[in-house]
Amino acid sequence: MSSRPKTRVGRPTKEDAAETAGRIVDTAAGLFAAQGFAATSIEQVASACSAGKDTIYRRFPSKIALFEAVVERLRLRTLDRLSLEIESAAGAGDALERLRCVARWFLSINLDPDMVAFKRIALSEAIIFGEDRHDQWEGDPIMDRLVALVTEAQKAGMLGDADPQVIVSHLLHSIVFGPSNEAMMGRTTYATPEAQDRFFDQAWGLFLRGVGS
Q: What is the DSSP string of 130-164?
A: -TT-TTTTTT-HHHHHHHHHHHHHHHTTSB-SS-H
Angle, helix 95-110 to helix 141-155, in steps of 10 degrees = 150
Q: Which domain holds residue 44?
A: 13-61
Cα-Cα-Cα-Cα torsion 138, 141, 144, 145, nearest 10 degrees, comes to -160
Does residue 3 fall inside a structural domain?
no
Q: What is the pLDDT along the chain (213 residues), one digit of tens a residue?
A: 444 444 444 566 778 788 899 999 999 999 998 898 889 999 999 999 999 999 999 999 999 999 999 988 988 888 899 889 988 888 778 999 999 999 999 999 999 998 898 888 877 766 554 544 444 445 688 889 999 999 999 999 999 999 999 999 999 999 999 999 999 999 999 999 999 999 999 999 999 988 555
CA 114 to chain centre: 9
Cα–Cα distance, 41 to 58 (Å, whole number): 16
205 C-beta neighbours (distance < 10 Å), count: 12
Whether 184 and 91 share a structural domain: yes
Residue 117 lies in a domain: yes
Claim to verify: residue 145 and residue 185 sit in the same structural domain: yes
Amino acid, res. 6: K
Q: Do 121 and 21 fall within a single domain?
A: no
State the total domains in the chain. Answer: 2
Classify residue 2: in a domain, yes or no.
Answer: no
The pTM score is 0.77
Does residue 138 belong to any structural domain of this protein? yes
